[in-house]
Amino acid sequence: MPINVLVVDDNRVFRDSFCELLNACYDHLQIIPAGDGSAALSLTRQISFDLIILDYELTSFSGGDVVRRLRARGTALPPIILISAHPDLPVIARLHMVNGYLQKRITLIQFLTMGAPFL
């Protein structure tokens, strides 16, 4: 049974590369990309995700806004990993009570360490 993973990042090159990395490492994932917070929120209404990998610094509204809107629905959330180059990402991740974070310039080892428990 495939594991549904939502990858949300407004940088198309990063998003596509990250999705390719996931596909190369795991053969049981159904990876769905989204380019902004609105698309991510729409997709989460249509598909039950097992993991959300979410850029904090989106152009339409922040990843934190996405998390708040998901929580406001009152339904159980899948694990959420914030990604960003923001220097305060560890604090931001704690404030939004997500399951983890990855500082951009993500290496394969970093992702496998943070993401593997959810896959």
Q: Between 40 and 24, whose confidence is greater?
A: 40
3-118 placed in CATH 3.40.50.2300:
yes
Do 5 and 63 touch, CB atoms closer than 8 A? no
Span 67-119, pLDDT tens digits: 999 999 999 999 999 999 999 999 999 999 999 999 887 776 677 777 777 76
Nearest Cα residue to 65 out of 36, 87, 86: 36
Assessment of whether the complete model's pTM goes beyond 0.85: yes
Nearest Cα residue to 38 out of 72, 66, 13: 66
Q: What is the CA radius of gyration of the chain?
A: 13
- Domain layout of the chain by residue ranges: 3-118
